[in-house]
Amino acid sequence: MDSVLFVKTSSLGDVVHNMPAVTEARRRWPEAHIGWVVEEAFAPLARLHPGVNEVTAVATRRWRGGLLMPSTWRDVATFRSVLQARRYDRVVDTQGLLRSALIAAQARGERHGYDRYSIREPMASWFYDVRHTVAKDQHAVLRNRALAGLSLNFVPSDVIDYGLPRHADASSTPYAVLLHGTSRADKEWRESNWIGLGQALRRKGMGVLLPWGTEAERVRSERLAGAIKGAEVLQRRPLDETAQVIANASLAVGVDTGLLHLAAAYAVPLIGVFITTDPKLTGPIGPGPIEIIGGKGDYPGYARAVDAAERFLTV
């Protein structure tokens, strides 16, 4: 097989979940040209994977807000031109949404995807040349790998390998990254819990870093830093740079958010704080130490996170 195109556009966690499938595709087809279509905001993250030869950024989120603007349709035409410049042996839509299926339909090559019984939006399967049955009750990482294996003629291994390189950090001070930001208010953890956890980590001599992505998250980071003596609010930086900050952490603690999955990809010891969502299908999964606290009907206090952190940090 000479060329493969993955279509996995968003969101951040979904993009991370696709990486083990890319790793295995590269292992099975070491000489193939592997491309990836991804939303422009997550293109820096997809480019971190050494098995990817070419990243094609799509801007459906931005285009939706400007459908009446001529510049939007020029951008769409440019995207199609870039996408169709190469013919692929296989086009694999691991997203499984109508939106991603329509993108895959623009590519030149044999299109593979889930069958109508395996995805949330059955109409997406109409746009594939080859449809595969993949159990819906699996974790997202396993589903992506299963579909890739069926599409590209390999059997997924027992080891989950995200394939991301880590660049050493010159800093000698161990630090924890507190990932408090999330796209849904019902996933948020009370600030009093973040403060209690942060203060406990500082007493153990650990640095505490507070990344943010939105203005509301920046304001919250500053409030938390004001209550956690010595905590640092990070400057907003590109996603690939944020990834390296997370990769070199001694501990990551986060709510149900994409950056938590990035920590799992780098095998950083992590604590996942779940409030209203079920971690069984989309929680963090990876080769490093992982502990989940909370879940539906089980609101965790910060003492449980402190206990988990102590277990990780004393190993």
Q: Which residues lie below 8 Å from residue 264, measured CB to CB, with a gap of 6+?
A: 16, 270, 284, 285, 286, 288, 290
In this structure, are residues 56 and 79 in contact, taking their beta carbons and an 8 Å threshold?
A: yes
- CA-to-CA dists, residue 27 to 62, 97, 298, angstroms: 34, 27, 41
Q: Crossing angle, helix 302-313 and helix 191-203, to 10 degrees?
A: 30
Give tens-digit pLDDT for 116-170. Answer: 999 999 999 999 999 999 999 999 999 999 999 999 999 999 999 999 998 777 6
Distance CA 290, CA 105 (A): 38
Type of residue at 19: M
Distance CA 180, CA 212 (A): 8
**What is the DSSP-derived secondary structure letter of residue 125?**
G
Q: What is the CATH number of domain 175-313?
A: 3.40.50.2000
Q: CATH: 2.40.50.100, 3.40.50.2000, 3.40.30.10, 3.40.50.720. Which one for 3-152?
A: 3.40.50.2000
Secondary structure element (H or E) that encloses residue 148, with its range = helix 140-152
Write out the two tokens for 56.
């094609």
In this structure, are residues 156 and 149 in contact, taking their beta carbons and an 8 Å threshold?
A: yes
In this structure, are residues 182 and 61 in contact, taking their beta carbons and an 8 Å threshold?
A: no
Low-confidence residues of the chain: pLDDT under 50: none
- For residue 154, the model assigns a pLDDT of 97
- What are the sequence ranges of the domains in the chain? 3-152, 175-313
